[in-house]
Amino acid sequence: MQTFTSEQLKNCTKEEMISIVLQMQQENALFAERIAVLTANRFGRKTEKLDCCDGQQSFFNEAEAEADSTAEEPTIEETVTVVRRKAGTREQDLRGLPVRVEEHALDDAQLTEIFGESGWKRLPDQIYRKLEYTPAVHEVVEHHIAVYASKKDDTIVKAERPAELWNNSIATPSIVAAIMNAKYTNHMPLYRIAAELQRNGVTIRKQTMANWMISVAERYLSLIWEQFKKELVKRPVIQADETTVKVTKDGRPAGTPSWMWLYRNGEYDSAHSIVLFEYQKSRKTEHPVAFLKGFEGTLVCDGYSAYSKLGKENPAIEVANCWVHARRHFANAVKAVKDKKAVHKTLAYKALRLIGRIYDEDAKTAKLSPEDRVEYRHRKVLPLVEALFAWIREHKDDVPAQSETGKGFTYCLNQETGLKVFLNNGLVPMDNSSAERSIRPFTVGRKNWVLIDTTHGASASAIIYSLIETAKANNLKPYEYLKILLTEIPKHMDGSDLTFLEQLMPWSPNIPEECRIPAK
């Protein structure tokens, strides 16, 4: 904003003073909006759901939209009826768990006293179920390798030693998988895992655990990660996202951000799910270029320039942009309005309503085939999308470009081509939400352990997170799957034939049944 001296202001004409005041008002409004957005992001609800847009994809809870002043509060009996579990739910909850039967019966003496000699018959048992919990059990397995010597000469033969993760280490697939599961699935820092083991009489230093994680990831699990990558780049749609991570010892000044990139197959891909993390020191375009080498299809992502540049430089890749990001500035603008009655008059609110209608209509295609989805989108969704962009062009000059609403208009117009890709491809979702959901476990874990010590640790974390999230996406138990991998892979490390890895893919029929989450 231009500044003026007292002398300059004294010499201003009436029209110039009006212009100065209007500019100050606009600057103050933009500043107030920025403060409101920062406050809402720091202290407000993190969700972007709105209950104010005709029940559509909404961004804040507007109580008066749902309130009914004539409605009476439910009675206690009605409340209990609402929360009562459906019949058979308990059986569903316990399905797939091992069952130990305990008999509770009367002996013959007691029965004779009650009924007389042979005066009874046994009816079907009354059966009820309880759930028992057995804490983790740790035991030392002492291996005795038989050694034989010839009576005739100096020949000595030993019995075959089983394949191990490392010789002269106490580590086994079960304990290493348990530590991985605790850290990368349940987000526990290593020092807490070490403390919990110590309380159970087991002493393993957190530094030892860290070495195990890095060594196992680099030596064994990286083979599976590479196999996943080969499979992923064959898919027609890949969704991508990225988030920051702090690495303390990477040869750069303290506080320099590093990045964890995520790639996964498309939400509408009928093939098995693959979720891959990759650690890189920067957010440069060269990283997705290298990762996606050989990929020919549609990349679903946000509006980050690295992705759009990739699409421009590689004609084999079409970039589809995310509608959640398209509506985010409008959501910020709505959150910043303190008078919730006035919010309905804002352009941001109108934009959210229009985008919400697009979401509502596209949601009806969820169970359709890709071909039918495109046909429905052309008939029902395309007119709504075109109407939105026509409305944006009509009102883009009605608000300052620096305001949240103005930024939302600019974003939509800049990404218009990418935002419309989903209309012509039935395998492309409207937004990148599935990728954001896949990256969330990493961000949750990051809040607990805060930073990673070395680049080796960051790369190891990327590999382990990839295996765990892919296992979860294919309805496998992460601990059981990791234990199988760490048991089987060391058996094949003497040769160069990697075809055995196909048998260890999460979707392989060779994966034991105990690894699978029981269907409910």
The amino acid at residue 258 is S
User: Residue 146 domain-assigned?
Assistant: no
Longest distance between any two alpha carbons in the chain, whole Å: 121
Ramachandran assignment for 519, one of left (phi > 0), alpha (psi -120 to 50 degrees), beta (any other): beta
Contact 276, 466 (CB under 8 A): yes
In whole angstroms, give the CA distance from residue 419 to residue 126: 61
Please report, to the nearest 10 degrees, the dihedral formed by the alpha carbons of residues 340, 344, 348, 351 taken in order.
140
Tell me the two tokens of residue 211. 């070495």
In whole angstroms, give the CA distance from residue 515 to residue 182: 17
User: Residue 348 domain-assigned?
Assistant: yes
The count of structural domains within the chain is 1
Query: Strand, helix or coil at 109?
Result: helix
10 Å CB burial of residue 443 (0-12, 13-18, 19+) is: middle
In whole angstroms, give the CA distance from residue 51 to residue 127: 46
User: Residue 296 domain-assigned?
Assistant: no
Instruction: Give, as one character, the DSSP assignment of residue 121.
Output: -
Terminal alpha carbon distance of the chain:
62
Tell me the two tokens of residue 481. 């799957």
pTM of the predicted protein model: 0.81
Query: What is the DSSP annotation of 2-52?
Result: ----HHHHHT--HHHHHHHHHHHHHHHHHHHHHHHHHHHHHHS------SS
Domain of residue 382, residue span = 323-431
User: Residue 304 domain-assigned?
Assistant: no
List all residues 6 or more positions away from 63 whose beta carbon is below 8 Å from its beta carbon: none
User: Residue 45 domain-assigned?
Assistant: no
User: Residue 378 domain-assigned?
Assistant: yes
User: Residue 235 domain-assigned?
Assistant: no
In whole angstroms, give the CA distance from residue 227 to residue 222: 9
* Three-point CA angle 326, 331, 333, nearest 5°: 115
Query: Strand, helix or coil at 284?
Result: coil
Per-residue pLDDT of the chain (520 residues; tens, 9 = 90+): 567 677 776 777 877 767 766 676 666 666 565 666 666 666 556 555 554 444 444 433 333 333 344 444 444 444 444 445 566 677 777 777 789 999 999 999 999 999 999 899 999 998 888 888 777 888 899 999 999 999 999 999 999 888 899 988 999 999 999 999 999 999 999 999 999 999 989 999 999 999 999 999 999 999 999 999 999 999 999 999 999 999 988 888 888 899 999 999 999 998 899 999 999 999 999 999 999 999 999 999 998 889 989 988 999 999 999 999 999 999 988 888 877 778 888 999 999 999 999 999 999 999 999 999 999 999 999 999 999 999 999 999 998 888 889 999 999 999 999 999 999 999 999 999 999 999 999 999 888 877 788 899 999 999 999 999 999 999 999 999 999 999 999 999 887 788 999 999 999 999 999 999 887 6
Give the number of C-alpha atoms closer than 13 A to the C-alpha of residue 283, restricted to the C-beta side: 14
User: Residue 399 domain-assigned?
Assistant: yes
